[in-house]
Amino acid sequence: MSSAFGIEEIQGQERALVFLKKYSSQPDLLPPLLIFHGPEGTGKESAVERFIRHVLCLEGTSCGHCVSCRAFMHHSHPDIVWFPLEKNKQIAIGKEDNPEEFTIRWLIRTRLYYRPHLSKTRFIIIPDASLIGNEAETALLKSLEEAPFFTRFIFIVNDLEQLKETIVSRAVCIPFGYLPQQVIKELHNKNSIPYFPAKGGSMVSFDCPPAVLEQISQRINGNLRQPLDYLRLEEWILEYKEEHSDWKEDFSFKDFLDLIGLLLLQEFSKSDFDSNLPKMEAVFRFKEKLHERVHGQENIALSLLIHELSLLEQK
């Protein structure tokens, strides 16, 4: 990690920066709980890291040279409690006697009320607050209301609706949104990552290999001018379904169709937006059907989409 790791380097998140700059320059105003919320891949975790390093810095500048910054850079800062992120594993309340590490009772008994070692503030970070169990949440509420002045919580979550109102009402919520395309392009070029506009404003990488995405793009970009073109696209999709040895393990046919829907939306929004709006609405209905829990729905949804787009192309 570079010694230059300031919040001013955060790009495309102007609303979030209003809060981060205020609290980093005036840490005494920090509320007991901050919630960083917004879509996956928009830089919430990186922003949290930059923010807490700035606040914990003994110079108040994220200098990179003080004992606090050096400890942070070596992932050994004693005043940071960062809960591990294990997919779909809830954060439990913990046993009454000898609670397990990284449970709420462990946190309260061994970390919460003890003064920081290096800095003026201790941060407790939960990287996916939607995984806090009901019992754990109940135990945590009082600590959020009566947190010691030197302890501050940061929760990260993709959607505020994943949290209960009792948690959200006790927090200052810091919003993150999808990044502007120009920012995405610059970041990809800087890090030598292939850039695809269909990714939207997220830095999360596709599970689909770039070569597959390129093949889809070649069949869609500028090549859908008449009904027959849509039928050819459907034929290619169904044939390709059986020839996907280069797909990653977590990439399914449904994901493939979802990606095709995104590229169709991109194609239809390039020009004549108003006249192409019915086509885009058809794609949205298609994407909605994809996520219905009906066996074999993918092929049916695809056929309906191609039929509808073919009819619209004739008008």
The CATH number of residue 171's host domain is 3.40.50.300
Note whether residue 191 is domain-resident: no
Query: Using CA atoms, how far apart are residues 256 and 271, in angstroms rounded to an integer?
Result: 25
Rounded mean pLDDT of the chain?
88
Same domain, 165 and 40: yes
Banded pLDDT at 198 (limits 50, 70, 90) = low
pLDDT at 2 over 60: no
In percent, the amount of the chain with pLDDT more than 70 equals: 92
- How far, in whole angstroms, is CA 153 from its chain's centroid? 19
Contact 11, 185 (CB under 8 A): no
Residues 120/126, Cβ–Cβ less than 8 Å: no
Among residues 92, 88, 91, 62, the alpha carbon closest in space to that of 77 is found at 62
Q: Are residues 284 and 164 in the same domain?
A: no
Q: Are residues 249 and 293 in the same domain?
A: yes
164 and 276 co-located in one domain: no
Query: Which residue type does 141 have?
Result: L
Q: How far apart are CA 47 and CA 56, in angstroms?
A: 14
Per-residue pLDDT of 65-82, as tens digits, reads: 999 999 999 999 999 999
Per-residue confidence (pLDDT) for residue 119, from 0 to 100: 94
The domain boundary, picked from 152, 185, 218, lies at 185
Name the residue range of residue 309's domain: 210-313
Are residues 102 and 31 located together in one domain of the fold?
yes
Residue 171 sits in the same domain as residue 233: no
Same domain, yes or no: 146 and 263: no
How far apart are the C-alpha atoms of 131 and 271, rounded to whole Å? Answer: 43
Return d(Cα 152, Cα 122) in angstroms, integer: 6
Q: How confident is the model at residue 41 (pLDDT cuts 50, 70, 90)?
A: confident
218-237 per-position pLDDT tens digit: 889 888 989 999 999 999 98
Total domains, the chain: 2
Question: Would 85 be classed as within a structural domain?
Answer: yes
28 and 165 within one domain: yes
Which is more confident, 245 or 242? 242
- By DSSP bridging, strand 33-37 and strand 80-82 are unpaired
Clarify whether residues 144 and 15 are in a common domain: yes
pLDDT the model gives residue 23: 96
Structure tokens at 248: 């990653």
- Looking at the structure, tell me whether residues 39 and 105 fall in a common domain: yes
Residue 23 burial (CB count, 10 A)? 21
Q: Specify whether 177 is located in the same domain as 220.
A: no
Structural domain includes residue 54: yes
More confident residue, 315 or 44: 44
